[in-house]
Chain A
Amino acid sequence: MSSNEMHVIVTLVEDRPGVLFKVTSLIRRRNFNIATITVGSTEHEGISRMTFTIYGQEDELRQVVYQLDKLVEVISIVAMKPEEMVIRELALVKIMMPNNGLQTEVMEMVNRYRGHVVDMTPRTITVELVETPERIDSFIREIGKINIIEIARTGITAVVKGADPTIKEVGVNG
């Protein structure tokens, strides 16, 4: 396989103080190359979901999964390929509006990417995008660095495609 393929790791973890610290401490100590982490609540009380993206080879991925799984607070963990999942990221992009009549072009682009304008001043707009990371990258490229005042991205969250949950049974690994 190619050396830097993207993988998505989904974990269910205990929702208590210090868990995020334990996870990030492990990642730093073991020298893992994690691109994004997102944390949020789940359908189970007391259990949070962490989603990681990692670029690397299969054996690196294996180490990340097994080392994370060793943490007592990590209840379940699965690693998947991006094509198996529905993946979304939220981006807020603050854009300087051009004053040379190109405003319509900007708005068209926003619409094309299914963005919403969530804030506006006479000179700027803030656009909310919920998209795959690749689509967000491409939006940013199209708008052009010069016009962008600020970008805030959340990192991805993801669920497996199809009818089953990503992690089928809490406490058992997929």
Chain B
Amino acid sequence: MKMSGAKAFIEALKRENVKLIFGLPGGAILPVYDVLYNDNSIRHVLARHEQGAAHMADAYARVSGRVGVCMVTSGPGATNTVTGIAVAHMDSSPMVTITGQVATSMIGRDAFQEADIVGITTPITKETFQPRSAKEIPRTVKAAFYIASTGRPGPVLIDLPRDVQTEECEMEFPEKIELLGYRIKVEPDPLQVRRAVEALMNAEKPIIIAGGGVILSNASQELRALSEQLMIPVVTTLMGKGAMSENHPLCLGMIGMHGRYEANKLVTEADLILAVGTRFSDRSTGKFDEFAQNVKIIHVDIDPAEISKNVPAHIPLICDAKIGLTRLLEEAKKRMARRSNTKWARRVEEVKEEAKSVYDLEGDLKPGVLLKTLRKMLPEDSIVTTGVGQNQMWAALFFDVYHPRTFITSGGLGAMGFGFPAAVGAKAAAPSRIVVDVDGDGGFMMTSQELITSIAEEFPVISIILNNGWLGMVRQWQTLFYGKRYMATNLKGNPDFAKYAEVHGAQGFTVYSYEDFENAVKESLSCDVTSIIDVRISPDEKVFPFVPPGKSLKEVILHE
């Protein structure tokens, strides 16, 4: 069939089952946008800034498990997506970014709105493509979606020169493609599975660290089954939050710099760690050299480059997390391996009891109390997105998550401004569920123009701004490590967020008490427009526990 590159592009997207594109048009991508004019099988969501479009596509992918798509023009349109792409890359989120590009004859001449986006994004993508003729488009799209969504997922960029979009040619759409240099190993080595189960059975104090990979491979059931079969407690990384329901007695919550007391404590006491789908980020492990010394480590990961990258593994299982956990469980059952009321189980209960007195939950407008209240008021399957900083860590510490893909946060890159557009993207993926952005005043303002997107495109979400008038986490570091010299962290000049909401057509609430908070959440839940809940917390609220940067998990600060 003869058609333009632009038409073939949209046709190829449909074949990938794309239903939604988040984007913002411009000159170099107009031929593709023009094809969408007469085609209502793909919905276009108009973001107000390309960074927002990228975060939306990313969050859409994380909630739905399908590839998220964003589309922008060349030059500034493309460079504005860079933060969004970097977030998706660090957190292994399957996203395809489509950028317009100047015509092939103009590339390299510093043409108007030309940017070398392939060069710029190569280090922060899983793969980039720049088709040089229309004929390459169907195969390029197929490859892009395949690479983005398989193995360890990640963002892929397709840069489309303008003349390639308008060129007409005979098109063939491949059903499958083969990529010589792209192989994925999903089955673990049976020998390593046997070694791993033996080690698990011989361990006295085993623990499982579940990372984002468990969620990406939809392995929550398998994780729970293995944990219950062998009575192994589970801690998660920030990205793994939700991999196991946090009301399960064997789930101890998040580890790391601001990990739960019980989780960090028991990880440091364990004699064996089964790490699944985690890259042992420095924020999870604390000081590498002192993490898990003299501890046997079984590392399950689909990316061979993660094995022994940060923490040396004794038993590597290079495979998909779901398949790896299934094989471990099968092997354990075959050997009738069961562990029960051992000393370790009693120790776990003891530490959990000890932890109860650790958290700061007494007093007025305590973030921990607010998040626990929020949890009680929201349906189980609600989705929470976060900003970055104190708000994010309070949410991770105090908002229990019961299902995978319901806690969406910028873990690796730590990009402020992620929360609100991510909420919009999450709502687009799950329109029937409640979506709440737990944010800070600093981060919210970074992408607050997407408030318009949420109103105009009718994706109502609730944004709870834990407003302390400061860049709170930076201030916390200044308080603890820089002698309270608060350089450039005071956000004086913040708008009145309730009014800010109203001028955008959203509902606004200002909260000074727990009662205000409950009323505001209740009202927000009962109405179908976006609302902003501005919670005036004290700038002196801090996130504890706190393992200072570069320290071991044992050196935790519990209060000021």
Task: Write the residues of chain A forming the contact surface with B, with a CB cutoff of 8 angstroms.
Answer: 13-14, 18, 21-22, 25-26, 29, 59, 62-63, 66-67, 69-76, 170-171
Nearest to B308 among chain A residues (CB) is: A59
Nearest to A29 among chain B residues (CB) is: B123
At the interface, yes or no: B379 with Cβ under 8 Å from chain A? no
The stretch among B180-188, B355-363, B424-432 that forms the contact with chain A is: B180-188
User: Ordered nearest first, which 10 A-B pairs have the shortest CB separation?
Assistant: A66-B305, A75-B181, A75-B180, A171-B180, A29-B123, A66-B304, A72-B182, A72-B127, A25-B122, A67-B305
Which residues of A sit under 8 angstroms from B36, Cβ to Cβ?
none
Most chain-B Cβ atoms within 10 A of its Cβ — which of A14, A18, A70, A75?
A: A70
Using known A-B contacts A21-B119, A22-B122, A26-B123, determine if residue A63 contacts B305 with beta carbons closer than 8 Å: yes
Which residues of B sit under 8 angstroms from A70, Cβ to Cβ?
303, 305
**Contact across chains for A71 and B181 when beta carbons are under 8 A apart:** yes
Contact with A along B300-333 (1 / 0, CB 8 A): 0001110111001000000000000000000000
At the interface, yes or no: B272 with Cβ under 8 Å from chain A? no
Which residues of B sit under 8 angstroms from A67, Cβ to Cβ?
305
**Contact across chains for B122 and A72 when beta carbons are under 8 A apart:** no
Please tell me the size bucket of the interface on B: 20 to 34
Q: How far is the CA of A69 from the CA of B179 in the complex (A)?
A: 13
Q: How far is the CA of A29 from the CA of B125 in the complex (A)?
A: 13
Nearest to B127 among chain A residues (CB) is: A72
Q: How far is the CA of A128 from the CA of B290 in the complex (A)?
A: 53
Most chain-B Cβ atoms within 10 A of its Cβ — which of A29, A63, A72, A74?
A: A72
Which residues of B sit under 8 angstroms from A63, Cβ to Cβ?
305, 309
**Contact across chains for A72 and B147 when beta carbons are under 8 A apart:** yes
Using known A-B contacts A29-B123, A66-B305, determine if residue A18 contacts B118 with beta carbons closer than 8 Å: yes
**Contact across chains for A62 and B180 when beta carbons are under 8 A apart:** no
Task: Write the residues of chain B forming the contact surface with A, with a CB cutoff of 8 angstroms.
Answer: 118-119, 122-123, 126-128, 130, 147, 179-183, 303-305, 307-309, 312
**Contact across chains for B181 and A13 when beta carbons are under 8 A apart:** yes
Nearest to B303 among chain A residues (CB) is: A70
Q: For the A-B complex with A29-B123, A66-B304, A72-B127 known, give 19 more contacts whose Cβ atoms are closer than 8 Å.
A: A14-B180, A14-B181, A18-B128, A18-B130, A21-B119, A21-B122, A22-B122, A62-B308, A66-B307, A67-B305, A69-B304, A70-B303, A70-B305, A72-B181, A73-B181, A74-B181, A170-B180, A171-B181, A171-B183
Q: How far is the CB of B140 from chain A (nearest CB, A)?
A: 12
Q: How far is the CA of A81 from the CA of B304 in the complex (A)?
A: 21
Which residues of B sit under 8 angstroms from A71, Cβ to Cβ?
181
Q: How far is the CA of A67 from the CA of B304 in the complex (A)?
A: 8
Q: How far is the CA of A77 from the CA of B97 in the complex (A)?
A: 29
Most chain-A Cβ atoms within 10 A of its Cβ — which of B147, B181, B182, B308?
A: B181
Nearest to A18 among chain B residues (CB) is: B118
Q: How far is the CB of B104 from chain A (nearest CB, A)?
A: 12
Nearest to A171 among chain B residues (CB) is: B180
Which residues of A sit under 8 angstroms from B307, Cβ to Cβ?
66
Which residues of B sit under 8 angstroms from A29, Cβ to Cβ?
123
Nearest to B130 among chain A residues (CB) is: A18
**Contact across chains for B180 and A25 when beta carbons are under 8 A apart:** no
Which residues of B sit under 8 angstroms from A21, Cβ to Cβ?
119, 122
Q: How far is the CB of A26 from chain B (nearest CB, A)?
A: 7
Q: How far is the CA of A59 from the CA of B182 in the complex (A)?
A: 23
Nearest to B178 among chain A residues (CB) is: A171
Nearest to A26 among chain B residues (CB) is: B123
Most chain-A Cβ atoms within 10 A of its Cβ — which of B179, B305, B307, B308?
A: B305
Q: How far is the CA of A59 from the CA of B304 in the complex (A)?
A: 13
A-B contact pairs, 15 of them (CB 8 A): A14-B180, A18-B130, A21-B119, A25-B122, A25-B123, A66-B305, A66-B307, A71-B181, A72-B126, A73-B181, A74-B181, A75-B180, A75-B181, A171-B181, A171-B183
Q: How far is the CB of B96 from chain A (nearest CB, A)?
A: 14
Nearest to A76 among chain B residues (CB) is: B181
Q: How far is the CB of A23 from chain B (nearest CB, A)?
A: 10
Q: How far is the CA of A74 from the CA of B305 in the complex (A)?
A: 14
Which residues of B sit under 8 angstroms from A171, Cβ to Cβ?
180-181, 183
Which residues of A sit under 8 angstroms from B127, Cβ to Cβ?
72
Q: How far is the CA of A69 from the CA of B318 in the complex (A)?
A: 14
Q: How far is the CB of B415 from chain A (nearest CB, A)?
A: 18
Nearest to B143 among chain A residues (CB) is: A72
Q: How far is the CB of A171 from chain B (nearest CB, A)?
A: 5
Q: How far is the CA of A67 from the CA of B308 in the complex (A)?
A: 12
Which residues of B sit under 8 angstroms from A13, Cβ to Cβ?
181
Nearest to B305 among chain A residues (CB) is: A66
Q: How far is the CA of A29 from the CA of B90 in the complex (A)?
A: 14
Q: How far is the CB of B132 from chain A (nearest CB, A)?
A: 8
